[in-house]
Chains A and B, each alone.
Chain A
């Protein structure tokens, strides 16, 4: 704001000052809004603090997911710290008796959905926040860059919710992952389709692939092509669409023209909503829409689409109806609901479990040095009964991958995600084929 310009415009000094003050206030407000997450920096550091860095997309397109992940991580930390009594039966992260009263302090970093920012945040958390371990980052491509930084500094990185298979194929020494990865989930899809063919007697061999074009969608596509070759499925159409697009007409038209028996779709939230709107707009209802988690399983998906989100089938690591099987899931979910006003979903349940597994390892390590934590993580052996996820347990193989994870398949029925496969843990029968839009 140069004086000459202001003078040329003939504005009074008082008014200029007022406006300046207003602008200052507005700018301050904006800064607070944007960076409220890093305010923990520089606060006094108690000696009995176990500082864990947590990197999520807290602003940007996936911010709504990030906020839920954050709440889940905080809940896990509160339980491990004994601030909230551990529910009956919880094993991972139920408390840290060997840490002599030391408390976990989560330091959050915001990657905004951007791999570069993710790496910078990891660097900041390690070098200036002195965290002893990292977790995050939801997006596979951000987890890839952030864990690279952790690897360089020799700090354990426990990923709970990124499913790109390549992440554990990098021979990293410091990287661990609790969630099953895409290979397993996608393999599940084909096994499920085989089971469905037996059950319904219908031919489900022609598949339309409809995936977004970042790392996750590309890896998924490759794997789907490989598996459908192996298992004698036919790919009728393959679409890799640009993420965050303004229209999906051309994509849906192509699918409609190919008319496959099953559509396998991988989309984040905004695209998932837009695609459902476009299916309806163009009157296209495939007999089965098999979604690859993410946007289709976000709490916002059904809240936003309501009835138009019905009957989609998705893979999951978790479903609320599993609480009928396991009272532990029910009680932990009640704590989550009390804290954040939303139920767990597959993403937040995995974020919870990641922090819980980390707390379990730190407790067994009895120390907060990276080496001790890494060693304890390698020795992790948590039984199925102590988890809120329908896994066989947590035990890491040589690549850092949890070898006991497994997925389920859910369908939206009456506004809820219900488990429909594997048939032995299903709580509802599958609705097939998906009803046409005008017959709902």
Chain B
């Protein structure tokens, strides 16, 4: 009985951890390429959730089917945000950069509330509803699909960064922009690409989360704090690091919550953040 429950908790932690990882990879990618912390990343997630919601409400398209559209839409949002806001603050002082993305966060939240009302919404029937029973372990199918999606997207991103010409160019820009430019890589294009992909990752995460989580304008704030912990633990800029760190954070949160007490679960995760900053500030796989 106890072993069964522990197994259940372990698997649940793994699932939510993979989802945290997916939210965090976009954030870490943007930071890795251009050293800008995107405070509006949670709002990209929120937009992804709303895109799924409206695809379902207006056109009866399931969030899972709509994923490619959600990804494309958020890619476009990311590029537009880069072109209209971020491009102007590339060389601005860090405070300006923080305030720009922070302001963007407030703007997007405000707009979502203005246009879509502050109501909590839920997508009532998705293709992936119901439960999966694996021996003693019972899991929500939406969570399983979301976790698998997270693995798929992170894997695809990794392949893109390490196995394609464009991805390598992006990596090169991340390592040394000047040198990359000298090699004929268009830095502006790479930055726009990073924002597009980063936002698309958040969009896909939103689409996957929308199958089981309530959707409301402030939903990003629930996830973004954990995403920052994941990014720090994984190492700023490291996609693989964020992936591993997401799983670790998910496991610590759920296992720790179960064993020590749910009232301490957030405290556990945030203590982890403090410990990482003190002991290994570059994170698991970060650049020094």
| Partner-B contacts on A (CB < 8 A) | 1-2, 4-6, 8-9, 19, 22-23, 26-27, 29-30, 32-34, 59-61, 63-64, 66-67, 213, 239-242, 244-251, 253-254, 256-257, 269-270, 273-274, 277, 280-283, 300, 303-306
Contacts and interface: CB of A to CB of B under 8 A. Distances in A.
B265 interface: yes
Nearest to B221: A244
A304 B121 contact: yes
B102 interface: no
Interface string B88-115: 1111100000000000001100110110
Interface stretch (B33-41, B157-165, B176-184, B253-261): B253-261
A241 B124 CA distance: 26
B56 interface: no
B256 to A, nearest CB: 8
Contacts of A244: 221-222
Given A5-B88, A5-B90, A270-B120, A61 B9 contact: no
Given A249-B258, A277-B213, A304-B122, 11 more contacts: A9-B188, A26-B107, A33-B114, A63-B118, A63-B217, A239-B262, A244-B221, A250-B9, A273-B214, A277-B140, A281-B212
Contacts of A251: 257, 262
* Residues of B contacting A: mostly: helix
Interface size class of B (residues with CB under 8 A): 35 or more
Contact of B216 (A240, A270, A280): A270
25 contacts: A4-B91, A5-B89, A5-B92, A8-B91, A9-B188, A23-B84, A29-B111, A29-B114, A33-B110, A61-B216, A61-B218, A66-B118, A213-B263, A240-B262, A240-B263, A248-B262, A249-B16, A250-B12, A250-B253, A250-B262, A253-B12, A270-B214, A281-B143, A283-B138, A304-B214
A1 B16 contact: no
A246 B12 contact: no
Nearest to B209: A246
A239 B90 contact: no
A276 B254 CA distance: 18
A30 B111 contact: yes
A249 B261 contact: no
A172 B124 CA distance: 47
B92 A2 contact: yes
A245 B124 CA distance: 21
B231 to A, nearest CB: 16
Contacts of B89: 5
B120 A250 contact: no
B61 interface: no
Nearest to A281: B140
A59 B12 CA distance: 33
B118 to A, nearest CB: 3
Contacts of A303: 119
Nearest to B139: A281
A254 B258 contact: yes
The 7 closest A-B pairs by CB, nearest first: A250-B257, A63-B118, A281-B140, A33-B114, A249-B12, A250-B258, A240-B263
B287 interface: no
A242 B124 contact: no
A143 to B, nearest CB: 20
A242 B254 CA distance: 13
A19 B84 contact: yes
A432 B90 CA distance: 62
Contacts of A253: 5, 8-9, 12, 258
A64 B84 contact: no
A254 B118 contact: no
A242 B9 contact: no
B13 interface: yes
B223 interface: yes
A23 B86 CA distance: 13
B280 interface: no
A1 B88 contact: yes
Contacts of B8: 253, 282
A304 B143 CA distance: 19
A39 to B, nearest CB: 14
Contact of A249 (B9, B84, B214, B223): B9
Nearest to A300: B120
Contact of B254 (A19, A29, A250): A250
B113 A63 contact: yes
B262 A254 contact: yes
